[in-house]
Amino acid sequence: HGWSDRGVFNFEGGCYAKAINLSKESEPEIYECTRKFGTILENVAFNVDTRRLDLDDASLTENTRAAYPITHIPTAERSKTGGHPENIIMLTADAFGIMPPISRLTPEQTLYHFISGYTSKIGGTEIGLGKEPQATFSACFGAPFMALHPYAYAQLLREKIKKYNVRCWLVNTGWVGGPYGIGNRIKLKYTRQMVKAALDGTLENSSFVEEKVFGLKIPEECQDVPKEILNPVQAWKNQSDYMEKASELAKKFRENF
């Protein structure tokens, strides 16, 4: 996506969605795309006799994908443009269970996480990865595609945030209650509800508590989202284990920055 003086716009005309364990119940629109002409499926297993897809089969890799045009989604904005955003939401998939499912960022924190570009990798998604998750950083959440130094883009972002008084959020779509293999993946319906609450302004009116390691502001409640998953410290069975792992992750952030 790009952000000009006239608003935001798409560079691309499609989506590249993960397909592993997709179901009609959990993701009806993306699921239907796997059945439509023009969709390209990567690493997806199928029955050689019936030609039926098996979206639950990870025998080739966990990293199965569906690439499809934006026109496959009925509610997509066909112009691929929009106005100036009131909210910026940065996504991470934290497999260590440290980052809150959603947190409010100051402008300075937004630039820090933008430059850091943190997410994590889990076994089966890339060749050579072991069973344990790995922290990975990609400046501006897309380092290979950035022609200039990350600070140049951070400066542009800072100017836009200030000019248009944009609220900023960090959303974790990864794990809660413990790391990969112990905790649980945050359900998509909860992520959607938190994003909806951020966009319509209701989350802004919530009470917030500050997480101690990264200084992130965590809402104490969000409608239709279990309160116990909002604060990752409370979601872990052993809080001292959480603090130990959070400190390890914070060290990786510092070393990367």
pLDDT tens digit string along 230-244? 999 999 999 999 999
Which one-letter DSSP state was computed for residue 122? -
Q: Yes or no: say if 173 and 190 are a contact pair by the CB < 8 Å rule.
A: no
Which one-letter DSSP state was computed for residue 151? H
The end-to-end CA distance of the chain, in Å, is 24
pLDDT tens per residue across span 11-56: 999 999 999 999 999 899 999 999 999 999 999 999 999 999 999 9
pLDDT category of residue 221 using cuts at 50, 70 and 90: very high
Alpha carbon 69 to its chain centroid, in Å, reads: 21
Q: Yes or no: say if 190 and 101 are a contact pair by the CB < 8 Å rule.
A: yes
Q: Yes or no: say if 66 and 19 are a contact pair by the CB < 8 Å rule.
A: yes
Whether the per-residue pLDDT at 6 is higher than 70: the answer is yes
b/e map 5-19, b = 16+ CB within 10 Å: eeeeeeeeebbebeb
pLDDT tens per residue across span 110-161: 999 999 999 998 865 555 555 678 999 999 999 999 999 999 999 999 999 9
**pLDDT at residue 124, rounded to an integer:** 53
Whether the per-residue pLDDT at 215 is higher than 90: the answer is yes
Predicted model pTM: 0.83
Q: Yes or no: say if 103 and 198 are a contact pair by the CB < 8 Å rule.
A: no
At 142, the amino acid letter reads G
Q: Yes or no: say if 174 and 181 are a contact pair by the CB < 8 Å rule.
A: no
pLDDT tens per residue across span 196-206: 999 999 999 99
Q: Give bridge partners of residue 120 from the DSSP assignment.
A: 135
Q: Domains of the chain (ranges plus CATH)?
A: 14-72 (2.170.8.10), 87-256 (3.90.228.20)
**pLDDT at residue 132, rounded to an integer:** 76
Separation CA 152–CA 121 (nearest Å):
27
Q: Are strands 65-69 and 14-18 parallel, antiparallel or unpaired?
A: antiparallel
pLDDT tens per residue across span 42-93: 999 999 999 999 999 999 998 999 999 999 999 999 999 999 999 999 999 9
Separation CA 159–CA 25 (nearest Å):
42
Helices (H), 10-106: 28-33
Per the structure block, which two tokens stand in for 149? 């130094």
Q: Give bridge partners of residue 9 from the DSSP assignment.
A: 2, 81
Q: Give bridge partners of residue 169 from the DSSP assignment.
A: 89, 104
Of 170, 159, 162, 168, residue with least CA distance to 117:
170
Which one-letter DSSP state was computed for residue 186? P
Q: Yes or no: say if 13 and 70 are a contact pair by the CB < 8 Å rule.
A: yes
